[in-house]
Amino acid sequence: MDPRGKTIVVAGGAGSLGSILVSSLVERGARVVVLDMKAPDGLAPDVLALQVDIADDDAVAAALETIAAERGAISALVNCAGLIHSEPLVSLTDPSQRRHRIATWEATIRANLTATFVLGARVAERMASTRTKGVIVNFSSISAHGNPGQTAYAAAKAGIEAMTTVWARELGPLGIRAVAIAPGFVATESTNVAMSETALADLKRRTPLLRLAKPAEIASAVAFAIENDFITGTTIAIDGGLVL
């Protein structure tokens, strides 16, 4: 798909990585719409930004009505919104919290897996009903393979990869592709907040390329997934060779 002139929705486009994706798509000539719970800063003047909880089905439906009225049919969705959370399943050193909390499990699943499902299903329905050939790009993570200390986050990302495969098989005959992007650890503000300097240094040491991914390298993979019309039902790993 040539992104020039196409309406592309970026969920989580106000985040540190999402904003890079937005800029990359704008540079490629796309008509970008950002969906995020927070107001984005520094967007190009022609980017439409809507504040919405993408795990809320009614809110998503209303946002898509606005997009349809102002930008027409959606040709691509980049599902980049999410929440990184680390918490051990069992802790013997903290008597106040012996096991993973149900509340943080539910919040992490909602922010990652449920949100991807709700928005992806709504956009796929619109693509199908308007006979629009398009692509849904979902964000997984290297953690989908099972990163110790991230039970909820890893489960959510593994679920996203499974959904992507299912969607590719179901929607392919309608001309709708589904691709997952699975970054390793990316040099963003959210990564620095979620991990200690010691943990980050250890990750760099264990990565064959000896560094974290640059946000622009993730944006390049997203552009590839959108532009290559014969890629679907797969997960593109961008992890620098790191194996968890």
Pick from 190, 181, 136: which is nearest to 157 by CA? Answer: 181
C-alpha 188/C-alpha 169 separation (Å) is 33
153 tagged catalytic: yes
Query: Residue 214 has what DSSP assignment?
Result: P
Q: Are 85 and 109 in contact (CB under 8 A)?
A: no
Query: 153, 156, 157, 167: which one is catalytic?
Result: 153
Query: Residue 34 has what DSSP assignment?
Result: E
Q: Which secondary-structure segment (H or E) carries 158? A: helix 151-171
The token pair at 231 is 């890629």
11 three-state secondary structure: strand
Pick from 177, 162, 80: which is nearest to 128 by CA? Answer: 177
**Residues annotated as part of the active site:** 153
